[in-house]
Chain A
Amino acid sequence: MKKTTLAIALIAAASFSTTAIAQEKKINPWKQCGIGAMVFDDNPTAAALSNIIWDLGTTAVSSNVSSQDSCEGAEATVGIFIKQNFDAVVEQVSQGEGDHLNAMLDILAVEGDARITAISNVRANTADAMANDSLTAEGLYNIVLENI
């Protein structure tokens, strides 16, 4: 299960580092960068790309050097991060603290009081989604972006 998640993340990273196309208007990275559409174990592309190595470090993850509106931006990066680390992020949102939660907000450059508020709001909204049995990685991604 976790290996599949890792493969997805690598494919996502590969997609972003090879399709670094600046967009003129703001995009929804989850949908338009294909984070939600990443397919899994038996996809031959997954096999071909699972050895992709020079992936996130030099471009996509760093919000400092990438465009906010492209598939290299912070929003796309946080989308991959949530997709890849979904279980850990949900656990830590439920606890209201943790390294993955902090890393997610660091990617989005949410700091100080804004971070405290964001954590509180993300926790409350994620709790509601859990209560409705409707929490998905995309749902959590949207909750995070709506509350920063």
Chain B
Amino acid sequence: MFLCLFKWGIAIEAMAYDNNELRKISEHPTWKKLLHFEAGYFHASISEVNSQSFFLHEHGSTDAYLELQATIQAFQYQADSQCVFPARLIFLQKVLPKFQFPSTDCPQYDAYLTAFQTESLSIVYASGYLGNPASMYGHVFLKFNGHEEHSLLDNTFSFGAKVPENEPGLVYVTKGMFGGYDGRFTNQKYHHQHLTYNESELRDLWEYELTLDKREVQFLLAHLYELEKTQMVYYFFKQNCAYQLAKLLELVIDTPLIAPEKPWVMPYDVIAMLDRHDNNGELIEDITYKGSRQELLYAKWGQLTKKDKKLVLRLISSPADEVATIISQVDTQNAIQIIETMYDYLAFIDVKQDGLDAQQISKRKALVKARFALPAGGFEWQAPLKKAPHTAQDTAMLQASVIHNNEFGALAELRFRANYYDLLSVNAARIPFSELSTLDARLTYSLERSEFDLRELTLIKIVNLNVSNTGLPQDSGYAWKVAIGYKPESLACANCSTAYADGFIGKAWSTSANWAAYGALAFSATGSNRRGGNISIGPEIGGVINLAPGYAVSLAIGQQSFVNDLEKDQQYLAFEQRFFEHRRFDIRSSVKYLDALEYALNFTLYY
């Protein structure tokens, strides 16, 4: 300890920087960001990194000044420590221009920079995936763009939790929410990401190329190198992939990338914040869409002629040994289009079925053989027109409503939905005709009775109509819904809300991107049997129509019988319409029936 103090004294003298100046540097926002210092609700600013090897001072994780002192000292007397913390070195050389640190060779770091030769940096948004709770809200990762025209060999970094294999679902969710996992940055080639997202999970990728210059990109690479062996606690709702990426980018982007109004962080919010501070191209250079295999199939299918569509259907229903005969019925260009569509179709159902059957594998081989018999060169398909994720409506909802209820007159309602979107939201880069709502609360005030009522609190509601875009076999799944929370048993009673779990399973139809209709078997379980029973089941029909960009309608009508009191039943209706197409607001109106009729006019803000 004495030796350290002695050496430190030499360092200070040599540097001609006094303690006040150094203390000021230790408060510099970039130094704090390099150490990942953040203030919490219950503690002052300390580091979120929980690997002691990341700190050169034993109290470096809680004291940025001590860590600064230790870093300067190490860089001066153990020059190879500069190779471990290249971003700190870049920062200190900038803020301590009067001091020359001894130079040293860092072959491993140099090799890393050579391997990461980068022209520009992109943030990539992967659309949500309802098949996994951790992926429902999408994902973001960084992509360091090389000079090749394609991007498959570009390097990517993303932050994720280290989850043991075969972790039980409940444990996974609980530990994810409450900090039971360590997280770290991972480095993979982009073709891994393409395989994971575009191919295996059928998710779209949106690439936002940023305007950062090479010096800024190199600073980020240097800091990622420092983070190679470090860990930070992963929290699903805040300290997640989006949060860590935003914090990293804030090292070189002088504007907050975490939405200030929200205590949670979502991938969409980082993209939205980039767009919010873009000022016509200051942050975002370009946006590129990489569709999933499913979307590639849909795009190709939409460009086929009727005759070619029939031939695709014949290929799907015929045995492999008829492939060549079917293909021979059209000219070369059409044959190429049909085969490329079939490639996407088989890759798509490979995922849907979790593998192709023997017949499909043989058919795929026959298609490849048929393609080899044709000249080289693909067909120039038109790129699909897709709205980028930042154009979607913001995800947190604050809604004020006036309501008329046939039984007890006028109500005023205040509604807050933490996230994310519903069937009528202005959606982009989200699963079509789906809903994902969490923490949706409605507080009503009765003008007649002069009392407040927490009428509804939906913890989670997921709807996926799963419509077929092509009509091809297996291009659809079950339409389904699950919802859990607390809501009124009837619209005819006051203060009669109870715990519930409900859902449906059925089938949806659609012939265009503008509408979908479904028929389903719906079921509901409630915590009270005031209306006859606890468990009810029955048919439900409904749908969604986007009649114009600024006008959309949804409808659900159902009839249910109580399983534990067969003489009692219930009918319900929910009709809702949205006016305007804007990211930050809309006006809605609704008609609902459940024992009583209720009309509402809703004014909604999104942030």
Contacts and interface: CB of A to CB of B under 8 A. Distances in A.
A85 interface: yes
User: Is the interface on chain A under 10, 10 to 19, 20 to 34, or 35 or more residues?
Assistant: 35 or more
Q: What is the interface of chain A mostly: helix, strand, loop, or mixed?
A: helix
Interface string A1-18: 111011001000000000
Given A94-B371, A95-B376, A3 B149 contact: no
A59 B156 CA distance: 14
Contact of B188 (A5, A51, A55, A103): A55
A59 B115 contact: yes
B254 interface: no
Contacts of A65: 111, 114-115
B164 to A, nearest CB: 8
Contacts of B371: 91, 94-95
B200 A3 contact: yes
Contacts of B117: 64
Nearest to A2: B200
Contacts of A87: 347, 350
Interface in A18-54: 47-48, 50-51, 53-54
Interface string B347-361: 100110011100000
A2 B115 contact: no
B191 A91 contact: no
Contact of A131 (B166, B188, B369, B376): B369
Q: Which of B150, B151, B373 is the most central at the interface, judged by chain A CB atoms within 10 Å of its CB? A: B150
Contacts of B163: 51
A123 B343 CA distance: 17
B162 interface: yes
B152 interface: yes
A148 interface: no
A126 interface: yes
A97 B368 contact: no
A133 interface: yes
Interface string A77-110: 0000100110110110011111110110011000
Interface string A56-70: 111101101100000
A55 B191 CA distance: 13
A107 B153 CA distance: 8
Contact of B372 (A81, A97, A123, A133): A123
Contact of B195 (A6, A55, A57): A6
A138 B148 CA distance: 26
Q: What is the interface of chain B mostly: helix, strand, loop, or mixed?
A: mixed
A51 B162 CA distance: 7
B277 interface: no
Given A53-B186, A97-B376, A47 B150 contact: no
B192 A6 contact: yes
Interface in B134-172: 148-153, 155-156, 160, 162-166
B148 A102 contact: yes
B184 A53 contact: yes
B228 A48 contact: no
A14 B112 CA distance: 17
Interface residues of B, number: 51
Given A123-B376, A126-B372, A106 B365 contact: no
B308 interface: no
Contacts of A85: 191, 195
A6 to B, nearest CB: 6
A67 to B, nearest CB: 12
B51 interface: no
A96 B371 CA distance: 10
B365 A130 contact: yes
A91 B336 CA distance: 12
Interface string B107-135: 00001101111000000000000000000
Nearest to A59: B115
A103 B187 contact: no
B194 to A, nearest CB: 8
Nearest to A6: B195
Interface string B177-200: 000000010111101100110011
A58 B369 contact: no
B260 interface: no
Nearest to B190: A103
Nearest to A64: B114
B187 A106 contact: no
A143 to B, nearest CB: 13
A103 B376 contact: no
B263 interface: no
B149 A102 contact: yes
Going nearest first, the 5 A-B pairs with the smallest beta carbon separation are A96-B376, A53-B186, A127-B372, A99-B150, A62-B115
13 contacts: A6-B196, A9-B192, A47-B166, A51-B162, A51-B164, A53-B188, A54-B186, A58-B111, A58-B112, A102-B149, A123-B376, A127-B372, A130-B369
Given A9-B195, A53-B160, A127-B372, 4 more contacts: A2-B200, A6-B192, A65-B114, A130-B369
